[in-house]
Structure 1
């Protein structure tokens, strides 16, 4: 019989699951249990040795189940399936996107260290870097997509922090402006300040593109983080996060997750497995809708600048990054209403189909005002520098019929 390497969207239905271990159930059951029974004391010892890193798992050895804080079938199968999209060696699923992000930062940073981060980033990430980490003696330096590798390297040197840099953290496309950052520059900067004694890790937040449209691990990134609440979950009915990467880094992430206890539960794992089965179908439709919505906004007299990757043109550095790193323009569209905050609020208050809510990547279309909502805690100086103005509206395009989405936007703009 001829072997075939199935595509990820096909493997989402079955990969990692053995029906014979679950009474023949076609779908993985919810393993709503805190602990698991060992057949023998020797088996329990063997399982713990692997769990605590006292020995490596043998090639044909099944990973033993111990306790749902360590492993659970729903999480284990989910993590194996998520690895397929990003071609990662390992994955760890968390109770939220912020728990995934904060765990990575706390594992790889120590008091006195410095994190170099792209601007803008999600508001919660910005808060953690600039308000929480300094309480532990860890400090952040921001860089923009207008800076070259040489300029970023010189900035770190001029600050006298070359020996303290331990992480380059990049969110691309950036929330909420769709600004693109070159992974190659991030890798070059990290390598410049790495040594035999000190590794500078590159971490990418890929939430805006989901696991479908961009694969940072293929571009020199060490770890990828997601708010799995967004496209991976895709139905606005759960909170979760994920981290993926090479085993040498993931072993550290998993270990800290075990002792922080911020893994996702079996019910969340089961819901995410369900969502993965329709991930490509959902995201493909959302991207198609975004093309139509962005085109409408671009020509509307009451709309100023439109932030949409599909409108980038050859000759633009951002276009070059787009062609190198992404396979799709995505389904996130931001735009400026002509006027100010009051005009933006009038638009938001008159939407009828699109829901006024934060979050993104779900089947329903959502709209929000970044300056006063998701990014309200970002410094006024940074908001101004990054173009997060009082006029800016962020749209997450859903799977509704694009004509209905456009009708809703049109009638709300008439009120402005």
Structure 2
């Protein structure tokens, strides 16, 4: 299928927000429809038996695809026009060789890790991370013979608990863990398969230095270098581009900012062509691809992504400014913010172009005080997830990170007094009024 793929007008490179309106789609192929229709079909008709043979040879890796050859449409578990257009557009934002879309963020993470690891391998990951990610690494992968090693480094300056610190800054601790994990893998007869980083961390907004992490990986004496994987859900794709800082693959919960309307579940992986080929193979066999209707909704959302993320961030930063120093708040946790360490601020300056619109508050008190505040909110909706047009609030310790042990919560800085805010696009003065009256309930 021939599709519109031009990213330039003359010698001018077009911006991602411009390309979202038509890149990867030719209206002439769909009766002139200005928007791509939903290709709600399970299978596709081959023009000839020879076409069918050629398509399957490429799909199943029996031969290399010619440079200008498109993967022919076969079956919607393998490919579909809606997904192909969406994946082309997603790859634009991060400058990736290839993007793949999945039925959820966890499907993207799980499929990618399965594609890259095998028994006796070791995977390093940073903590805290999204609860589902932690569960996969901590409980599922070890059953499959993959050893997982977590690294956490949290030094909160004002909390009601005593943290355990691995190092003064996360980059130093992570470099040591990477070296030790590679040695462990060699002793087990495997490899260090991947280093998985979530930055900013959920829900503390702790940043990991990607360039330092990439350098630590490159310093290893290992025949096949481990892949650096980055969950970019909190800031991407507008405010952080991990591929520019040494990452090999970038992962997203598209449910969040990219979907942006709290009406779909999806995920994505994108990055280096050779690694993406392995991920694509695993997705085909595991069947973790998303559906055409969800892909169509995501294409709709991409057209307004930059506007929504800009407005949400503007609202969030104004709320952060007003809430700092509030008598009921111990600390405001925003990425690279004024209350973070100089090293964290330096990472932010090198790596990020914005702090996004999700931040956390450490309140004076504990769970009882946090619950009183949460129950008093009127505009902020009490729900997990983030990145939608509406403002949400959650209590990580009792919900998304409830399966953490007490020791892990302490080490990762997730106290009972922590609440996480995902700021939407409402009027910022209204949102501030809601937070102020709720804080009075503490």
With the length of structure 1 as denominator, give the TM-score of the two structures.
Answer: 0.96
Deviations 1:279-325 (A, max 9, x none): 00000000100111111211311111110126237970001100111
Offset, 1:150: 5.7
Q: How does 1:211-230 map to 2 (within 5 A)?
A: 211-230=237-256
**Cα distance between partner residues in 1 of 2:434 and 2:176:** 48
Q: How does 1:12-411 map to 2 (within 5 A)?
A: 12-145=20-153, 146-147=168-169, 151-155=173-177, 161-163=184-186, 164-196=191-223, 198-309=224-335, 311-312=337-338, 316-411=342-437
Aligned residues of 2:152 and 2:411 also touching (Cα < 8 A): no
Change (3 A) 1:313 1:324: farther
What value does the CA root-mean-square deviation take over the aligned residues?
A: 1.7
**Cα distance between partner residues in 2 of 1:69 and 1:316:** 48
Change (3 A) 1:25 1:284: same
**Cα distance between partner residues in 2 of 1:363 and 1:193:** 43
The count of aligned residue pairs is 415
Aligned residues of 2:102 and 2:108 also touching (Cα < 8 A): yes
Secondary structure at the aligned position of 2:52 is classed as: helix
Aligned residues of 2:333 and 2:339 also touching (Cα < 8 A): no
Change (3 A) 1:395 1:369: same
Aligned residues of 1:149 and 1:188 also touching (Cα < 8 A): no
Offset, 1:3: 4.3
Offset, 1:55: 2.4
* Structure 2: runs of 5+ lacking an equivalent: 1-8, 154-167
Aligned residues of 2:121 and 2:185 also touching (Cα < 8 A): no
Deviations 1:20-63 (A, max 9, x none): 00000000000000000111111111111221222233333333
Offset, 1:195: 2.3
Of 198-207 and 242-251, the range deviating more from structure 2: 198-207
Offset, 1:386: 1.6
**Cα distance between partner residues in 2 of 1:327 and 1:157:** 30
Secondary structure at the aligned position of 2:300 is classed as: helix
Deviations 1:306-360 (A, max 9, x none): 1012623797000110011100011111001111100100111111111000000
Offset, 1:125: 0.5
Aligned residues of 1:357 and 1:367 also touching (Cα < 8 A): yes
**Cα distance between partner residues in 2 of 1:39 and 1:360:** 45
Secondary structure at the aligned position of 1:233 is classed as: coil
* Structure 1: runs of 5+ lacking an equivalent: none
Secondary structure at the aligned position of 1:333 is classed as: strand
Deviations 1:218-268 (A, max 9, x none): 111111110010001000000000000111000000000000001000001
With the length of structure 2 as denominator, give the TM-score of the two structures.
Answer: 0.90
Deviations 1:96-145 (A, max 9, x none): 00010011111111111111111111111111110111111212111235
**Cα distance between partner residues in 1 of 2:424 and 2:313:** 9
**Cα distance between partner residues in 2 of 1:65 and 1:294:** 48
Match of 1:4 in 2: 12
Change (3 A) 1:157 1:51: closer
Of 238-247 and 373-382, the range deviating more from structure 2: 373-382
Deviations 1:183-237 (A, max 9, x none): 12221232233522x3311100000012111010111111111001000100000
